[in-house]
């Protein structure tokens, strides 16, 4: 036990004395979540809208106000004739356009059909379709407030239904996935690099000829980094709440526990990788590829698992992040507890145990074969 305490103390010195690395380790997840969080969001925000309004009147002005009020659109140009749109789109000034008919208010007042055209930039299909849906929703809402659509539909009643989404709802989905993504990368890198560094410098050999058992060496590595990883977990959870306003409807204690468990799995993965490689560079590549790709592609964080072909779905069961994403979304968005998440929790626990046992084993193998 004294030997283990010494090892732990030594590792803490390593961590605390390498200030630059420590800052990177703790700040990186938080920064990455911000970067990816804003990059990956599918919500549209301040879409540049051009308005073609041949005869501005009360109705067109009211509608224009509606478009900007939601914060989704900002009007970049108001032109009298549609010909100007061509160049606005071509130069990328406008991403969408609303073309009003002349004399809209008068036609509506008389109950005559009036036309309104929504134009979206098809070269950005994602934004385009969202523009279409949002614009249609704005108009629909306006009409409903005016006392229901007149018969025959004075304005376009689109059959696209999409719930209006002024809050950035997609971050609710993405942020838990992102947390998994950045935590797994940083954690597996920490142990992989610190173990292979000892192999490279030769200190590992000194530990191996000593009476220390392989499990003591591994615990001596995992525990200190678990503490560092836990700080990162707290950091990204705070960030999810404060920056992305992701709700936390379930138990925060449970979320912290699951985060710790997920970190443990990732740290153990890093240990296993470093037990099988001898250079820091190889271990780093191994940890990056071994965590980044599966987490990005197979965790359900970006691409829904349900729409994957079954072989990929089968592989995704072995990706720790898949289970953590499930757990984090469950706790944060749905507010569920262990009653619903026990299976994923058990699987994560099993993975951690499995990886630790296998890496302890491969330490033995290294000594003996």
Partner 1 sequence: MTEAFAIEARDLTRRFGNFTAVDRITFNVRVGEVFGFLGANGAGKTTAIRMLTGLLAPTSGQATVAGHDVYREAERIKRDIGYMSQRFSLYDDLTVRENIRLYGGIYDLSGQEIRDRTARMLGRLGLEHAADQFVRAIPLGWRQKLAFSVALLHQPRVVFLDEPTSGVDPITRRQFWELIYDAAARGTTVLVTTHYLDEAEYCDRISIMVAGRIGALGTPRELKQKFSADSIDEVFVRLARPDVHPPASPPERQA
Closest contact distance (angstroms) between CB of 281 and partner 1 is: 18
**Helix (H, G, I), strand (E, B), or coil: what is residue 116?**
strand
Q: Is 207 or 248 the residue whose CB approaches partner 1 more closely?
A: 207
CB of 9 to partner 1, least distance (A): 7
- Cβ nearer to partner 1, comparing 6 with 335: 6
Q: Which of 41, 276 has the CB closer to partner 1?
A: 276
The token pair at 191 is: 């142990």
Q: CA 330, CA 341: separation in Å to the nearest integer?
A: 8
User: Which residues, including other chains, have CB under 8 Å from residue 95's CB and lie 6 or more apart?
Assistant: 47, 48, 49, 120, 121, 124, 127, 128, 131
How many residues are listed for the chain in this entry? 369
Give me the sign of the Cα torsion angle 227, 232, 233, 239.
positive
Cβ distance to partner 1 smaller for residue 7 or 226: 7
Q: Are 70 and 139 in contact (CB under 8 A)?
A: no
Assess contact for 217 and 363: CB atoms under 8 A: yes
Q: How far is the CB of 17 from partner 1 (least distance, A)?
A: 5
> Min. distance of Cβ 18 from partner 1 in angstroms?
7
Residue nearer to partner 1 on the CB measure, 18 or 45: 18
Q: Which residue number, 77 or 208, has a Cβ lying nearer to partner 1?
A: 208
DSSP structure string for 290-322 = HHHHHHHHHSSSSS-GGGS-HHHHHHHTT-HHH
What whole-number distance in Å separates Cα of residue 85 and Cα of residue 94?
8
Q: Return the axis-axis angle of helices 169-201 and 320-329, rounded to nearest 10°.
A: 140
Residues that bind partner 1 (CB under 8 A): 2-3, 5-7, 9-10, 13-14, 17-18, 201-203, 205-212, 367-369
Identity of the residue, 45 or 205, whose beta carbon is nearer to partner 1 in the bound complex: 205
- Written as six digits, the tokens of 91 are 């130069």
In the complex, minimum distance from the CB of residue 214 to partner 1, in angstroms, rounded to a whole number: 12
Q: How far is the CB of 364 from partner 1 (least distance, A)?
A: 10
Distances (CA, A) of 20 to 15, 16, 23, 25, 27: 10, 9, 5, 9, 10
**Minimum CB separation from partner 1 for residue 217, in Å?**
10
């Amino acid at each position: 036990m004294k030997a283990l305490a010494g090892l732990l103390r030594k590792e803490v010195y390593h961590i605390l004395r390498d200030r630059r690395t420590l800052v990177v380790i703790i700040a990186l997840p938080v920064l990455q979540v911000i970067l990816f969080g804003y990059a990956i969001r599918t919500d549209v925000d301040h879409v540049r809208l051009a308005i073609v309004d041949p005869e501005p009147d009360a109705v067109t002005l009211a509608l224009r106000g509606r478009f900007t009020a939601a914060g989704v659109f900002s009007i970049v140009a108001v032109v009298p004739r549609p010909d100007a749109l061509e160049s606005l789109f071509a130069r990328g000034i406008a991403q969408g356009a609303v073309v009003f008919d002349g004399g809209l208010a008068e036609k509506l007042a008389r109950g005559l059909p009036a036309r309104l055209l929504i134009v979206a930039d098809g070269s950005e299909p994602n934004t385009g379709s969202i523009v279409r849906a949002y614009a249609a929703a704005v108009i629909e809402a306006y009409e409903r407030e005016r006392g229901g659509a007149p018969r025959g539909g004075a304005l376009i009643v689109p059959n696209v239904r999409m719930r209006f989404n002024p809050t950035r709802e997609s971050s609710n989905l993405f942020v838990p996935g992102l947390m998994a993504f950045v935590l797994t990368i940083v954690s597996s890198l920490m142990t992989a690099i610190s173990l292979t560094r000892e192999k490279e410098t030769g200190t590992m050999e000194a530990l191996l000829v000593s009476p220390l058992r392989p499990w003591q060496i591994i615990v001596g590595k995992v525990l200190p980094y678990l503490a560092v990883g836990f700080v990162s977990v707290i950091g990204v959870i705070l960030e999810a709440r404060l920056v992305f306003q992701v709700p936390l409807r379930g138990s925060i204690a449970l979320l912290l526990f699951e985060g710790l468990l997920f970190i443990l799995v990732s740290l153990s993965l890093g240990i296993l990788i470093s037990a099988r490689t001898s250079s820091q560079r190889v271990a780093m590549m191994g940890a990056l590829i071994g965590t980044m790709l599966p987490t990005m592609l197979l965790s359900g964080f970006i691409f829904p698992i349900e729409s994957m072909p079954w072989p990929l779905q089968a592989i995704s069961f072995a990706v720790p992040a898949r289970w953590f994403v499930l757990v984090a979304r469950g706790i944060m968005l749905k507010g569920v507890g262990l009653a619903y998440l026990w299976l994923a929790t058990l699987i994560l626990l099993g993975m951690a145990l499995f990886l630790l046992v296998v890496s302890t084993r491969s330490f033995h193998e290294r000594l003996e074969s």
